[in-house]
């Protein structure tokens, strides 16, 4: 019997030897509710984390993305714990590719080297396939940071180098510097979805395509707006935290502006027998060819099932373009 996993077409991550599923599992929500960043999410039980990871990996995802700042290592530890459990069960999906990130605020590039063993320890001794600079703001230059990252590759601590939230200029500079060490920048992780398309206008997307750098899209459903849940039931907005409302565009004006796009997503969802969120994710991972991969999170098992279901079909070219036009129309209003 053909499995979901066998249906998923892998693609190269940047100009690396890593072959990844179009969607990976974002693990911010495994922060245990700890730390300034982790408090964004409530604590998820060990049993739920195990089920979420199991469904995601068995459904065809072959990589996960976490970070030091997600609960100060709590997300990495939670991930390692459930992967240990899957390994003990004899699961063939217990060893996904692992991406994590170094937090640069108020630190120098020396911290990249001095904290790498902590990251590996939090991950249960697992190797780091992609190590990313989480933000472009630190007390060191991009040159110093790329030198440190190259040193980690040479020392066998990590396999490849990525960045996150870098501008086009910063991304190109990081790539150029890595080339002097015989390496390339593999990825830039940025916010990107049908309601947030600044990288299409500020040079990031075009530079990524030119240099063969993958875009890893975070917040691919605009904090749930692209699922249509807030349009279908506006009373749900009240249950969302104030910080999340401010970040996501859940005010009345923004919701009205995005309504026609949600209508288009819903119509296609009816055609494909799926959800509007799955249509939004499908557009994201196919509109730019193989350039964009995405890391939707999942705080419930049903979210994980929807995520992997996204990779079992592909929108037609004219449907991708229809959503592209509806997206820009929503953003220009």
> Can you give the C-alpha Rg of the chain in angstroms?
19
* Rounded-to-integer distance, Cα 170 and Cα 286, Å: 26
pLDDT at 329: 94
What integer pLDDT is reported at residue 292 of this predicted model? 98
More confident: 52 or 250: 52
| 103's tokens | 């937090």
Return the structure tokens found at 187.
């990825």
- Of the listed 40, 70, 192, 218, which one is catalytic? 70
Alpha carbon distance 275, 226 (integer Å)? 10
Please provide the size of the chain in residues.
333
Specify the 3-state DSSP secondary structure of 303: helix
Band of residue 44 on the pLDDT scale cut at 50, 70, 90:
confident
What average pLDDT does the chain have? 91
| 321 or 38, which is more confident | 321
Task: Answer yes or no: are the C-beta atoms of 194 and 323 closer than 8 Å.
Answer: yes
pLDDT class for 247, splitting at 50, 70, 90?
Answer: low
Q: Does the pLDDT value for residue 298 go beyond 90?
A: yes
Q: What pLDDT is attached to residue 34?
A: 56
pLDDT of 2 > 50? The answer is no
Q: What is the pTM of this model?
A: 0.94
**Res 24 pLDDT > 50:** yes
Q: How confident is the model at residue 105 (pLDDT cuts 50, 70, 90)?
A: very high
**Distance (Å, whole) CA 144 – CA 182:** 16
* pLDDT mean over 318-323: 98
Parallel/antiparallel/unpaired status of strands 292-294 and 25-26: unpaired
Residue 7, pLDDT score: 80
Q: What is the pLDDT of residues 110-135, one digit of tens each?
A: 999 999 999 999 999 999 999 999 99
d(CA 23, CA 281): 9
Whether 70 is a known active-site residue: answer yes
CA atoms within 13 A on the CB side of 217: 32
Provide the b/e sequence for 196-223 (b: ≥16 CB within 10 Å): bbebbeeebbebbeebebbbbbbbbbbb
pLDDT tens-digit series, residues 53-65:
999 999 999 999 9
- Residue 149's alpha-carbon distances to 15, 175, 229, 327, in angstroms, are 17, 12, 41, 37
């Amino acid at each position: 019997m053909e499995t979901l996993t066998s249906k998923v077409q892998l693609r190269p991550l940047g100009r690396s030897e890593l072959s990844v599923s179009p969607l990976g599992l974002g693990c911010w929500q495994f922060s245990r509710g700890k730390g300034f960043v982790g408090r964004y999410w409530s604590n998820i039980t060990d049993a739920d984390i195990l089920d979420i990871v199991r469904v995601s990996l068995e459904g065809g995802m072959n990589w996960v993305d976490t970070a030091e700042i997600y609960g100060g290592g709590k997300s990495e530890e939670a991930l390692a714990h459930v992967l240990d459990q899957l390994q003990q069960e004899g699961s063939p999906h217990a060893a996904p590719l692992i991406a994590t990130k170094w937090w640069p605020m108020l630190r120098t590039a020396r911290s990249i080297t001095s904290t790498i063993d902590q990251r590996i320890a939090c991950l249960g001794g697992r190797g780091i396939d992609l190590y990313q600079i989480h933000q472009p703001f630190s007390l060191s230059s991009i040159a110093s940071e790329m030198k440190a990252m190259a040193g980690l590759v040479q020392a066998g601590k990590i396999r490849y180098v990525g960045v996150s939230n870098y501008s086009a200029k910063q991304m190109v500079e990081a790539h150029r510097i890595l080339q002097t060490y015989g390496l390339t920048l593999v990825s830039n992780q940025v916010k990107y979805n049908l309601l947030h398309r600044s990288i299409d206008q500020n040079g990031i997307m075009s530079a990524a395509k030119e240099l063969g750098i993958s875009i890893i899209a975070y917040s691919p459903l605009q904090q749930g707006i692209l699922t249509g849940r807030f349009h279908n039931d506006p009373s749900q907005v009240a249950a969302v935290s104030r910080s999340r409302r401010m970040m996501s565009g859940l005010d009345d004006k923004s919701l009205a502006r995005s309504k026609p796009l949600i209508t288009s997503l819903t119509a296609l969802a009816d055609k494909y027998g799926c959800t509007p969120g799955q249509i939004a994710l499908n557009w994201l991972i196919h509109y730019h060819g193989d350039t964009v991969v995405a890391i939707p999170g999942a705080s419930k098992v049903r979210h994980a099932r929807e995520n992997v279901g996204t990779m079992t079909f592909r929108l037609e070219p004219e449907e991708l373009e229809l959503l592209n036009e509806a997206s820009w129309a929503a953003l220009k209003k």
